[in-house]
């Protein structure tokens, strides 16, 4: 249904795009190709494939038919030319950066990043002679002032993990590209997924995902992806993935993400609806000092989120009056809600960024990067919103 699906709605394409059942003996679901290598009809055919002169699988480190269906579908949903699925979100980020950078290059990154991304930039890239500057990407003048002739990447998340700041993707992309077309604007779209936001249509060059989260959606896999123009994604496949990281996705994992995509739009709608209700409720509780959620009209990012996101997403951050100790007490009193890192699962998850996902920052770095010690992050799941609220309420009542 490729030609028809290209004109179809998002939910339809998420189910059908990039797969023809007649190519697999009528199998409704794309088969899982559990093979490491592929046989060639002739030496000539093998040589042509290795030379890039003919299409077809070679070896599952470079690609696999199950993986190819996922990549075709994900590229379409993000409205990019090509996608590359990998073994983890950090695999996707590191393979992309290793491909695009060399010693002496410069990266501009937002001041608040997922902890492992920050560690990769600060403790990984810098060891190999890559300079990194952290700026407030909400401040366009700060972004502009940070750019140099050596800048090759501008990188940020939107919304930001864990503080839910929202970046003006279109404005940043225009500013950067006006400065130099040699700079790649890369956006981590994990929090939104293409169901809620498509950075490539707003001017970004590449999108990265932790597919572990909403794309998979069920907390049963680890994976990542990068989406963008075909030339760059092919480079990442042949350099960053094949030769530098080896972050190869398994066919079974690719199959599970395909399954997750089929319900992605429905799940993101439910996550967002429930999160908005919970955020509004939290904002009214006397124990709560501050709620960070772009769907609240009180959020400084409300108007921007309305412009570039179709829904405000399923992630909430907040601080309790009394700071860190009250936050820990609250989290330890949760019953149904699980104390766990990750996000985007059917289960509602709660975690403490300072001691968990963002513990790669020193306390001084967290302070400089706006990650408070008492911040609590919740990934609102698919349970009935009344049950989520009831558990939050009883946990707050003993604080």
* Pairwise CA distance, residues 29 & 254, whole Å: 12
In angstroms and rounded to an integer, the radius of gyration of the C-alpha atoms of the chain is: 21
Q: Which residues contact 208 (CB under 8 A, 6 or more apart)?
A: 89, 92, 93, 96, 186, 187, 188, 189, 190, 224, 225, 226, 227
> pLDDT at position 323, please?
83
* Helical (H) or strand (E) element with 361: none
- Out of 105, 136, 168, 188, the active site residue is 188
- Out of 33, 114, 292, 361, the active site residue is 114
C-beta contacts of 121-125 below 8 A and 24+ residues apart: 121/155, 123/360, 124/94, 125/97, 125/101
Is 137 within 8 Å of 143 (Cβ atoms)? yes
For the cut 90, the answer to whether the pLDDT of residue 7 exceeds it is: no
Q: Which one, of 159, 173, 162, 201, lies nearest residue 304 by Cα?
A: 159
213 classed as catalytic: yes
Average pLDDT over residues 7-13: 94
* Pairwise CA distance, residues 207 & 374, whole Å: 30
3-state secondary structure of 97: helix
Sign of the CA dihedral with 321 first, then 322, 327, and 329 last: negative
243 classed as catalytic: no
Question: pTM higher than 0.85 for the full model?
Answer: yes
User: What DSSP character marks residue 160?
Assistant: P
> pLDDT at position 5, please?
45
User: For 306-342, how does the pLDDT look when each residue is reduced to its tens digit (9 = 90+)?
Assistant: 999 999 999 999 999 888 888 889 999 999 999 999 9
End-to-end CA distance of the chain: 55
* Pairwise CA distance, residues 103 & 130, whole Å: 5
Cis peptide before 329 (omega within 30 of 0): no
242 classed as catalytic: no
59 classed as catalytic: no
Cα–chain-centroid distance for residue 111? 17
For the cut 70, the answer to whether the pLDDT of residue 78 exceeds it is: yes
Ordered domains of the chain (ranges, CATH): 2-262 (3.40.640.10), 264-397 (3.90.1150.10)
Longest C-alpha distance within the chain, in Å? 73
* Pairwise CA distance, residues 116 & 357, whole Å: 8
Sign of the CA dihedral with 170 first, then 171, 172, and 178 last: positive
* Pairwise CA distance, residues 201 & 363, whole Å: 37
For the cut 60, the answer to whether the pLDDT of residue 4 exceeds it is: no
DSSP letter for each residue of 162-184: TT-----HHHHHHHHHHH-TTSE
Of residues 357 and 71, which shows the higher confidence score?
71
User: For 265-308, how does the pLDDT look when each residue is reduced to its tens digit (9 = 90+)?
Assistant: 999 999 999 999 999 999 999 999 999 999 999 999 999 999 99
3-state secondary structure of 219: coil
Cis peptide before 162 (omega within 30 of 0): yes
* Pairwise CA distance, residues 191 & 369, whole Å: 19
Please report, rounded to a whole number, the percentage of residues in the chain having pLDDT higher than 70: 98
Q: Token pair of 228, please?
A: 């963008």
- Out of 61, 242, 262, 328, the active site residue is 61
Sign of the CA dihedral with 146 first, then 147, 149, and 154 last: positive
Which band of pLDDT confidence, cut at 50, 70 and 90, is reported for residue 3?
very low
- Tokens 């572990």 label which residue? 212
* Helical (H) or strand (E) element with 186: strand 184-188
For the cut 90, the answer to whether the pLDDT of residue 1 exceeds it is: no
User: For 175-204, how does the pLDDT look when each residue is reduced to its tens digit (9 = 90+)?
Assistant: 999 999 999 999 999 999 999 999 999 999
For residue 121, report the phi and psi dihedrals to the nearest 5 degrees: -70, -50
Is 186 within 8 Å of 208 (Cβ atoms)? yes
> pLDDT at position 6, please?
53
């Amino acid at each position: 249904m490729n030609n028809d699906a290209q004109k179809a709605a998002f939910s339809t394409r998420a189910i059908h795009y990039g797969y023809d059942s007649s190519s697999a003996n009528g199998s409704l679901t794309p088969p899982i190709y559990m093979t490491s290598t592929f046989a060639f009809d002739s030496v000539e055919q093998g040589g042509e494939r290795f030379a890039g002169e003919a299409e077809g699988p070679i070896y599952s480190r470079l690609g696999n038919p199950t993986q190819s269906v996922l990549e075709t579908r994900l590229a379409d949903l993000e409205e990019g030319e090509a996608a590359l699925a990998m073994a983890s979100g950090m695999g996707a980020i590191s393979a992309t950066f290793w491909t695009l950078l060399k010693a002496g290059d410069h990266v501009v990154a937002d001041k608040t990043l997922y902890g492992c991304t920050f560690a990769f930039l600060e403790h990984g890239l810098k060891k190999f002679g890559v300079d990194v500057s952290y700026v407030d990407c909400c401040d366009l003048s700060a972004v502009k002032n940070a750019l140099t002739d050596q800048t090759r990447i501008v990188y940020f998340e939107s919304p930001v993990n864990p503080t839910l700041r929202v970046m003006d993707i279109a404005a940043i992309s225009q500013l950067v590209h006006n400065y130099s077309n040699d700079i790649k604007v890369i956006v981590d779209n994990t929090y939104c997924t293409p169901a809620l936001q498509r950075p490539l249509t707003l001017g970004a060059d590449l999108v990265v995902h932790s597919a572990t989260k909403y794309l998979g959606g069920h907390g049963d896999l680890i994976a990542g992806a990068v989406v963008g123009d075909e030339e760059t994604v092919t480079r990442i496949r042949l350099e960053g993935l094949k030769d530098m990281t080896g972050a190869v996705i398994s066919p079974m994992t690719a199959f599970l993400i395909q399954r997750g995509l089929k319900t992605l739009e429905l799940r993101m709608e439910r996550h967002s609806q429930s999160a908005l209700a919970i955020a509004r409720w939290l904002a009214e509780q006397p124990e709560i000092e501050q709620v960070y959620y772009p769907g609240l009209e009180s959020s400084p990012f409300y108007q921007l989120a309305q412009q570039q996101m179709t829904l405000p997403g399923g992630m909430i951050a907040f601080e309790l009056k009394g700071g860190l100790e009250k936050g820990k007490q609250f989290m330890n009193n949760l019953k149904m809600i699980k104390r766990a890192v990750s996000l985007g699962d059917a289960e509602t998850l709660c975690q403490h960024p300072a001691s968990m996902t963002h513990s790669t920052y020193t306390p001084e770095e967290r302070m400089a990067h706006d990650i408070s010690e008492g911040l609590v992050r919740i990934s609102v799941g698919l349970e009935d919103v009344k049950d989520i609220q009831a558990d939050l309420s009883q946990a707050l009542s003993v604080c």
